[in-house]
Copies of this chain bind each other. A is one copy, B any other.
Amino acid sequence: MKPLEETFIKMVLDAWHSHVKQTDDLFNSLSDEQLFTEIAPGKNRGIYLLGHLTAVHDRMLPLLGFGDQRYPHLYKTFLESPDRAQADIPSVEDLRNYWKETNNILSKNFSKLSVTEWFQRHNAVSEPDFAKEPHRNKLNLVINRTNHLANHLGQLLLLKKAKENK
């Protein structure tokens, strides 16, 4: 039997990869026109959630010590501002590519991290705080971001046409 740490890392990463795949499959199945539709009347459009999820995942790179954000310009439009507040947004094609690229880079970095590194602090927590709260490690950030992704995936599923609904 594998050491428990490896089992636990597998549990967390399986959930992450499964949700990224489900969301990626959904984005691939939605037309550009569907992405410009609101998930519900007066709520966010699909395109905004595509940018939002990409910005949040891009920000995981520095938080996990994998290097700088690749698309820092997404931050203001898709994290600090609500949908439609910024007139100038990237093209759908670019956003679709950024989304895939970001998840690929995360995935490559995940596979290189050692067991010890997964249980080290992430960069949004200070060393003194981490000494008191060892659960605020890199793996915990992945648990939280998987839940964040699941939350918006539930909303994005509403963009599917009635006959496509599960």
Which single residue of chain B is at the shortest CB-CB distance from A147?
B150
A19 within 8 A of B: yes
A65 sits at the interface (CB 8 A): no
Binary interface encoding of chain A residues 2-29 relative to chain B, with 1 for a CB under 8 A from any of its CBs, else 0: 1011011011101100010000000000
Residues of B near A4 (CB, < 8 A) are 4-5, 8, 119
Residues of B within 8 A of A137 (CB): 7, 11
Residue of B nearest to A155 (CB): B154
> Could you say which residues of chain B place their CB within 8 Å of the CB of A146?
147
For window 143-166 of A, CB contacts with B under 8 Å fall at: 143-144, 146-148, 150-155, 158, 162, 165
Is A1 on the interface with B (CB-CB < 8 A)?
A: yes
Known: A15-B147, A158-B43. A1 touches B134 (CB 8 A): yes
Residue A34 interfacial (CB < 8 Å)? no
**1/0 contact string of A49-86 vs chain B (CB within 8 Å):** 00000000000000000000000000000000000000
- Given A11-B135, A135-B10, A155-B155; A162-B1 close (CB under 8 Å): no
Cα(A135)–Cα(B59), bound, Å = 28
Q: Sample 14 A-B pairs with CB under 8 A, ordered by A number.
A: A2-B134, A4-B8, A7-B134, A8-B139, A11-B135, A12-B143, A39-B158, A40-B40, A40-B41, A147-B147, A148-B150, A150-B151, A151-B153, A151-B154
Residues of A whose CB lies within 8 Å of any CB of B are 1-2, 4-5, 7-8, 10-12, 14-15, 19, 39-43, 119, 134-135, 137, 139-140, 143-144, 146-148, 150-155, 158, 162, 165
